[in-house]
Amino acid sequence: MSRIEVAPVPAPELRGPLSLLEEWLRDGEPVPDDFVGELRHSVEAGDVEVLAAYLDDRMVGVLVLAFRPNISLGGPFASIEDLYARPEARRRGVGGALLKAADERCRERGVHYVEAQVEEREADPFYAASGYEREADVRVFSRSLVIGDRRNEKPETRSL
């Protein structure tokens, strides 16, 4: 069996992992250049880490880890923003190796709590086998804020 290697991706080299995530999340459509710049800045600042998994020197998986302060914890916590393994690399330990590397990075930074919001139920057993527990009392609410969304603008006033 081939050995899986996981390494942090330096900010100038983000295009490789981003292209892998674009395949999965954006049907191959590249993210805008200004977003790439923001991500590079976040990586350089230490707010985000991108980990890449390699199998036989080929990138086969990516994990994006974001760090934030948390008042209730009284310290930092981490959120797995994205975790992806190429279909041909699944069930070969790639996802587990990425999670293990993320845990190590979190321990090094004094993080005691890591969360992952998972959309696909098929991933539930994977996370459970990796020690993650479903939080029954937590619900996620979201709202899209579209640029130019008229619902967010103040109504026009007319003078008669």
Q: Where residue 33 sits, what CATH number does that domain have?
A: 3.40.630.30
3-state secondary structure of 33: helix
Structural domain includes residue 29: yes
18 domain residue, yes or no:
yes
Can you tell me the distance from the alpha carbon of 134 to that of 117, in angstroms, rounded to the nearest whole number?
10
Is 158 contained in some domain? no
Q: What is the pLDDT of residue 68?
A: 94
Instruction: Considering only residues 66 and 27, tell me which one the structure prediction assigns the higher pLDDT.
Output: 66
Helix (H, G, I), strand (E, B) or coil at 154: coil
- The string of pLDDT tens digits covering residues 8-19 is 999 999 999 999
On whether the pTM is more than 0.75, the answer is yes
- In a domain, residue 68? The reply is yes
> Is residue 157 situated within a structural domain?
no
* Overall domain count for the chain: 1
The share of the chain scoring above pLDDT 90, in percent, equals 56
SS3 110: coil
Q: What is the pLDDT of residues 112-125, one digit of tens each?
A: 899 998 877 888 88
| Chain centre distance of CA 5 | 19
| Residue 116, domain member (yes or no) | yes
Q: Is 92 helix (H, G, I), strand (E, B) or coil?
A: coil
Per the domain annotation, does 160 fall within a domain?
A: no
What range does the domain containing 30 cover?
4-152
What tens digit of pLDDT does each residue of 53-76 get? 999 989 999 999 999 998 988 889
Q: What is the mean pLDDT of the chain?
A: 88
Radius of gyration of the chain (CA): 19
